[in-house]
């Protein structure tokens, strides 16, 4: 009875937070009278900048409140019904079988440095580099790249195809060359190394691990269910403009990068969706990436991009650790028995599979054929310490 009461109270609080988050755009501090896309170094150094950031604080606060209440609700449910603990992520909690902590790997350190540096450039790059770079199309959530307006990123034109064809042909060529160039050169390494929304989700995942909170363990069926959502998102992303709509009004990234760049943009549904992205990223690593339309579009080019995940099928023992570690639930990386190239369209090049592969040189990442990161038994063993009898236990 006590747990039922707790579940009801928590559900009501969760519903309240969701309603508050959804209707937050109606509050005056959340909606600016006029969208002001201008930004400057002076603006972000002034008191006005803090006022611009208020919606971001609200989003972070509501996401934190939502996460706390979901955790409470889950604990109450797990007490009354043991089958709910099935969704606990045994790899990341305190439970038996949790992955050992390895010594830091250079690849991962560099990936984090790249993500932070590129996010900084994408948010404040327009201010730093100025208009010289404004015609370069960057294929990820880069609305504030340009100091003058939000119309030069590939992200914008991919979601406003109707406007793209009205541009002078030179601009269309620049758009196509820089977008396709970036995608061919980097592929979905953009997701693993550059995207600010990817960084935010990885930070949420780190917070969950540090707070020893159980994540959500997805099974194949759940990963399969994400596929139609992904295609629906691509359809909405590219097609809404022809129906008189605008994907930017829904894009969760609008609630972060333009605001941080000092633009006063009304958030509407974007703010609410950003709360879901933060909560999703907390409980399931890169949850939004599983349905991101931009990521899916970049995935179309995975066969020609320079980055690859490769496998030495002779060294692979089919242990499944790579599948367990993969935030995108890519199974073929461990089931493939013939092909060396195991790069999937959904692979975000995060390198987690390689980090967790216990076989020397069984799995590796290459760029233009050059090995960037290789699985190592020694690194895996660095997480284990011998006990008094010399046996390796955690
Ligand atoms: S899938 Fe989308 S949100 Fe995720 S890292 Fe790639 S571009 Fe960013
Ligand atoms: S296959 Fe490996 S590199 Fe690709 S998303 Fe999964 S864990 Fe990351
Ligand atoms: S973790 Fe390594 S050894 Fe295990 S299945 Fe994957 S590639 Fe094979």
- Report the pLDDT value the prediction gives residue 92, as an integer from 0 to 100: 39
302 Cα to the center of ligand 2, angstroms: 13
Residue of 105, 188, 302, 347 to test ligand 2 pocket, by largest number of atoms within 8 Å of CB: 347
17 Cα to the center of ligand 1, angstroms: 26
CB-side neighbour CA atoms (13 Å) of 390:
0
The single-letter DSSP state of residue 100 is P
% of the chain residues with pLDDT over 90: 27
**In the predicted structure, residue 84 carries a pLDDT above the cut 70:** no
pLDDT average, residue stretch 324-349: 92
Contacts of 239 (CB under 8 A, 6+ apart): none
- Using 50, 70 and 90 to split pLDDT, how confident is the model at 21? low
List the Cα angle 369/370/375 in 5-degree steps. 105
Output the residue whose Cα is nearest ligand 1's atom 7.
295
- Report the pLDDT value the prediction gives residue 145, as an integer from 0 to 100: 53
Q: H-helix or E-strand containing 308?
A: strand 307-311
Output the residue whose Cα is nearest ligand 2's atom 6.
326
Q: Which residues line ligand 3 (CB under 6 A)?
A: 311, 316-322, 334, 357, 359, 362-363
Place of tokens 């367990």: 324
| 341 bridge partner residues | 310
Give residue-wise pLDDT tens across range 2-18.
667 777 777 777 777 76
Joined together, the tokens standing for residue 341 give: 């190239």
Q: Is 234 in the pocket of ligand 1 (CB under 6 A)?
A: no
Give residue-wise pLDDT tens across range 252-267.
887 787 788 777 776 6
How far is residue 1's CA from residue 279's CA, in Å, rounded to a whole number?
28
342 Cα to the center of ligand 2, angstroms: 10
Q: Regarding predicted confidence, which is higher, 173 or 267?
A: 173
Q: Is 150 in the pocket of ligand 1 (CB under 6 A)?
A: no
Q: H-helix or E-strand containing 260?
A: helix 257-260
What secondary structure, in 3-state letters, does 70-134 show?
Answer: HHHHHHHHHHHCHHHHHHECCCCCCCCCCCCCCCCCHHHHHHHHHHHHHHHHHHHHHHHHHHHHC
Q: H-helix or E-strand containing 149?
A: none
pLDDT average, residue stretch 330-346: 91
Ligand nearest to the CA of 290: 1
- Nearest-CA neighbor of 139 among 114, 122, 163? 122
Q: Which residues line ligand 2 (CB under 6 A)?
A: 309, 325-328, 330, 333, 347-353
pLDDT average, residue stretch 87-109: 59
Q: Is 288 in the pocket of ligand 1 (CB under 6 A)?
A: yes
Place of tokens 């972000």: 44
- Nearest-CA neighbor of 201 among 298, 90, 276? 276
The single-letter DSSP state of residue 253 is G
Q: Is 195 in the pocket of ligand 1 (CB under 6 A)?
A: yes
306 Cα to the center of ligand 1, angstroms: 18
Ligand nearest to the CA of 357: 3
Q: Is 359 helix (H, G, I), strand (E, B) or coil?
A: coil
78 Cα to the center of ligand 1, angstroms: 32
Q: Regarding predicted confidence, which is higher, 327 or 144?
A: 327
Which domains does the chain show, CATH number per domain?
Answer: 1-305 (no CATH), 307-381 (3.30.70)
Strands (E), the chain: 307-311, 363-367, 370-374, 385-386, 392-393
Alpha helices in 40-86, H assignment, sequence order: 41-44, 47-80
Give residue-wise pLDDT tens across range 345-376.
999 999 999 999 999 999 999 998 899 999 98
Report in angstroms the alpha-carbon separations of 170 from 158, 164, 173, 270: 17, 11, 5, 32
pLDDT average, residue stretch 301-308: 89
Ligand 2 atom having least distance to the Cα of 346: 5
- Report the pLDDT value the prediction gives residue 97, as an integer from 0 to 100: 41
Strand order in 370-374's β-sheet? 307-311, 363-367, 370-374
What is the residue-averaged pLDDT of the chain? 79
């Amino acid at each position: 009875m006590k747990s039922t009461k707790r579940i009801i109270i928590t559900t009501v609080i969760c519903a309240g937070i969701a309603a508050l988050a959804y209707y937050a755009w109606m509050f005056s501090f959340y909606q600016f009278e006029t969208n002001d896309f201008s930004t400057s170094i002076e603006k972000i150094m002034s008191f006005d900048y803090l006022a611009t950031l208020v919606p971001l604080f609200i989003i972070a606060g509501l996401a934190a409140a939502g996460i706390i209440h979901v955790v409470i609700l889950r604990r109450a449910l797990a007490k009354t019904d043991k089958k709910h603990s099935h969704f606990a992520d045994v790899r990341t909690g305190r439970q038996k079988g949790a992955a050992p902590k390895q010594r830091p790997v250079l690849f991962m350190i560099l990936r984090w440095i790249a993500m932070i540096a590129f996010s900084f450039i994408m948010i404040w790059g327009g201010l730093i580099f100025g208009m010289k770079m404004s015609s370069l199309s960057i294929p990820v959530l880069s609305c504030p790249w340009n100091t003058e307006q939000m119309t030069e990123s590939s992200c914008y034109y991919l979601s406003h195809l109707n406007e793209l064809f009205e541009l002078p042909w030179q601009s269309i060529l620049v758009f196509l060359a820089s977008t396709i160039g970036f995608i061919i050169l980097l592929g979905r390494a953009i997701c693993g190394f550059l995207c600010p929304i990817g960084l935010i989700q990885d930070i949420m995942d780190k917070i969950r691990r540090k707070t020893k909170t159980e994540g959500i363990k997805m099974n194949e069926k759940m990963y399969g269910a994400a596929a139609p959502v992904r295609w629906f998102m691509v359809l909405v992303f590219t097609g809404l403009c022809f129906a008189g709509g605008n994907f930017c009004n829904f894009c969760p990234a609008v609630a972060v990068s333009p605001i941080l760049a000092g633009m006063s943009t009304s958030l509407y549904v974007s703010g609410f969706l950003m709360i879901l992205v933060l909560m999703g990223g907390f409980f399931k690593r890169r949850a939004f990436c599983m349905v991101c339309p931009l990521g899916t579009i970049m995935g179309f080019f995975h066969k020609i991009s320079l980055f690859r995940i490769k496998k030495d099928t002779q060294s692979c023992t089919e242990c499944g650790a790579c599948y367990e570690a993969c935030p995108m639930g890519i199974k073929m990386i461990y089931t493939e028995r013939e092909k060396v190239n195991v790069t999937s369209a959904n692979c975000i090049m995060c390198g987690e599979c390689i980090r967790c592969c216990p076989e020397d040189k069984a799995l590796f990442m290459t760029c233009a054929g050059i090995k960037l990161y290789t699985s190592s038994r020694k690194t895996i063993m660095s997480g284990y310490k011998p006990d008094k009898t010399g046996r390796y236990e955690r």
